[in-house]
Structure 1
């Protein structure tokens, strides 16, 4: 049996970092930075820094939040707010990043980029059905045994993905498309940094990693690092995020340089396809298909596992394997039926969950200063929830956002609350709630712990 004081070797640390990277770096992490580079043009550096904050720093803080609180699931992390809130938050997060949006999107994206360009129109429906069946069938088979994730993702699948991505970078930087003097789009002329932050929201990583981090810790413990699981996870997570930042900057640069040969694309998927085909001609389509499919497949594995682990903890009478079957089957169905509608409705839910997730990260990283006092948690979340709901309504489909009452409330919100018009209206209320909670705690420091919360 492995020692509980086992020290991590450099090789093990690299493999663990590769597993963590592979499980959260998906298609969005590839295509959004490329499109950001096209949007930002000559202001690519400011936009990249903003994207790195929300697309890399926030996810790293999410990993550390789980580590420093020794949480054994998303429910544990949110439990100091209250049991009902913790359960609701867990369900909302996992349904959004899991079978109702995130997981189906991985397979749909792989099909769109990897197979759809090679199929006749009349075979697209059948092709999607067969592709997603194989995709999710294989993902289910590889995630049945949680302890195998390090081998499958860390050693093999993600390693191949990184080699293919390195090929793109080597070609692009040895044979650049041109200079970086292209005119930025209007929104990026004076707000490149802020818009870069908002673009980083699209990766969903800060929300997803609150759930995925527990899977990372379980994988680390399975290697024998029981006593030092938190420290090893933090090290591997930091290394994986640093690699992610380097890749983000490279992708933004490639996107910005591509404006010398291509018009501003509709999205990053189109831009990436144009760039790869520019360098690799007809073979570029096949190469990109393999690259994207590998990237999203490892992410799908991580999402399936974290869903099954957390729901098994919340509803222990249903086994891990049965929850795994549930999320796999639902993801398969959603990927084949109405994914466009799901995507349309997912953005407002993400705008709700992102501020709540970041507030929870703030509370988790600082909990030792107020002994997990329930009042601090509840005040912070309560004041975050109001602007989060308004941001959700602002990004809802027009049938909701244009209702007279909703439109008037949103107009006042965007006018009076700092940064609200930029989609960051939650920042000040969150800090105010956190500050009020700390002040009240100083006057009445009797700790209210999460276990005490459960007794009420």
Structure 2
């Protein structure tokens, strides 16, 4: 009985840590607007969103359970050079987009409604504080994170529960032509698949420190159980916020921003005081996310340069300067700017996750190289389409299945995976 209780406690502790690492406050602004626009097909949009924002990230944790390494291990079977370039690209995107977005969310939710100050000032103060915490590695953030996450979850479940029991289940028609694919693409904006390959390594280190005597298989089971529990929690919150947005379709103007909608939903369900409290909690959670991203990036670059503290400091400074430059823009602009980068890097990340959880006999080095190369090639039209070349590429897209849904890489990558495995089997 004691052993069962101990194992359950380990699973719960690890699941909570995983949930906290995935649960970036910036992600909260995405589901309500998606739901508000999805209308009667909110459930289909929710499935698409959770496929890319929950299922794929949790599979990333399953891959970490198998590899028990770092982000660098995800692409090693392609080649060490590819893996290094991929890792650097992931960190470059992280400090350029999701990190500054936390400052923009903070300004729009906690500063702009109460103070008449410019976003640039918020961004400068915000990332100056981020820099102070990054170079001091304060434990306050860990303590703060453990308190913030439960408080935000409690408020969110109160908002979702109030909306579900207070509003009739009557919905507008959806504004989306392809609700499922729209949900998938909006799920890219959570950066959670990227987060999985980055933060999974942090969980591995934490488990290794806590359970030094545990075997590989014991750690694998712990990570898998914790991952699915964390995923279920994320699914309930994301789906709940989407249906809440859909239920309150007539309460807000069509052009309302993501942050304003989250604040408006909070006010209508729980009152102004709760909205003020939520704004503060979200801002603090955004801050911990930004510190984590900049610290993780600086740590990685430092490691590549023989643990040079000068390199760590330089990377932290550059990360915070990038944060100030990008963080002064509004959230909608940062999300729009992020789309092209995500259209290119997300498919590669997804196939690396799937290949790493596949049985070794189906994921040889040859399979890795062929599938990743195919994914890169067939992601290029989606990437070019996202930067304004959609019309020019319309003829090409007619020959690529699912390309009109910005998922042109899916079937070619699957076909190459099957074909290379068949050829390998015939040669043996």
Same fold (TM over 0.5): yes
Match of 1:355 in 2: 347
Structure 1, unmatched stretches of 5+, are 446-456
1:157-186 deviations in whole A, cap 9, x for unaligned? 322332333333344344x2x223222233
User: What SS does structure 1 have at the residue aligned with 2:248?
Assistant: helix
The root-mean-square deviation of aligned C-alpha atoms, in Å, is 2.8
Task: Evaluate the alpha carbon distance shift between residue 106 and residue 322 of structure 1 in structure 2; reply closer, same or farther with a 3 A threshold.
Answer: farther
Match of 1:427 in 2: 410
Match of 2:319 in 1: 331
Structure 1 length-normalised TM:
0.83
1:81-138 deviations in whole A, cap 9, x for unaligned? 01211111111111112x22122222232222112222224x5533432233224533
Quote how far apart the aligned CAs of 1:285 are: 4.4
Partners of 1:249 and 1:238 in 2: CA distance: 16
Match of 1:118 in 2: 114
Match of 1:92 in 2: 89
1:185 and 2:174 are equivalent in the alignment: yes
Task: Evaluate the alpha carbon distance shift between residue 8 and residue 420 of structure 1 in structure 2; reply closer, same or farther with a 3 A threshold.
Answer: farther
Match of 2:75 in 1: 78
Match of 1:449 in 2: none
Partners of 1:136 and 1:182 in 2: CA distance: 45
Partners of 1:426 and 1:368 in 2: CA distance: 23
User: For the Cα contact (< 8 Å) 2:133–2:291, is it kept in 1?
Assistant: no
Quote how far apart the aligned CAs of 1:316 are: 4.8
Once structures 1 and 2 are overlaid, which stretch shifts more, 433-442 or 324-333?
A: 324-333
1:374 to 355, 361, 365: 365
Q: How many aligned residue pairs are there?
A: 419
1:326-371 deviations in whole A, cap 9, x for unaligned? 454333212221444765543211110111111111211114124x
Partners of 1:7 and 1:304 in 2: CA distance: 37
2:230 to 237, 240, 243: 240
Quote how far apart the aligned CAs of 1:323 are: 5.9
Partners of 2:6 and 2:283 in 1: CA distance: 31
Alignment of 1:315-330 (within 5 A): 315-319=304-308, 325-330=313-318
1:383 to 365, 368, 374: 374
Match of 2:199 in 1: 212
User: For the Cα contact (< 8 Å) 1:63–1:234, is it kept in 2?
Assistant: yes
Match of 2:289 in 1: 299
Task: Evaluate the alpha carbon distance shift between residue 386 and residue 411 of structure 1 in structure 2; reply closer, same or farther with a 3 A threshold.
Answer: same
User: For the Cα contact (< 8 Å) 1:414–1:420, is it kept in 2?
Assistant: yes
User: What SS does structure 1 have at the residue aligned with 2:344?
Assistant: helix
User: What SS does structure 2 have at the residue aligned with 1:81?
Assistant: coil
Task: Evaluate the alpha carbon distance shift between residue 280 and residue 160 of structure 1 in structure 2; reply closer, same or farther with a 3 A threshold.
Answer: closer
Partners of 1:324 and 1:234 in 2: CA distance: 33
Match of 1:262 in 2: 252
1:196 and 2:183 are equivalent in the alignment: yes
Task: Evaluate the alpha carbon distance shift between residue 64 and residue 181 of structure 1 in structure 2; reply closer, same or farther with a 3 A threshold.
Answer: same
Quote how far apart the aligned CAs of 1:28 are: 3.8
1:30 to 21, 28, 31: 28
Partners of 1:257 and 1:9 in 2: CA distance: 40
Partners of 2:227 and 2:379 in 1: CA distance: 28
User: For the Cα contact (< 8 Å) 2:103–2:286, is it kept in 1?
Assistant: yes
Structure 2 length-normalised TM:
0.88
1:144-163 deviations in whole A, cap 9, x for unaligned? 67xx986553x333223323
User: For the Cα contact (< 8 Å) 1:101–1:346, is it kept in 2?
Assistant: yes
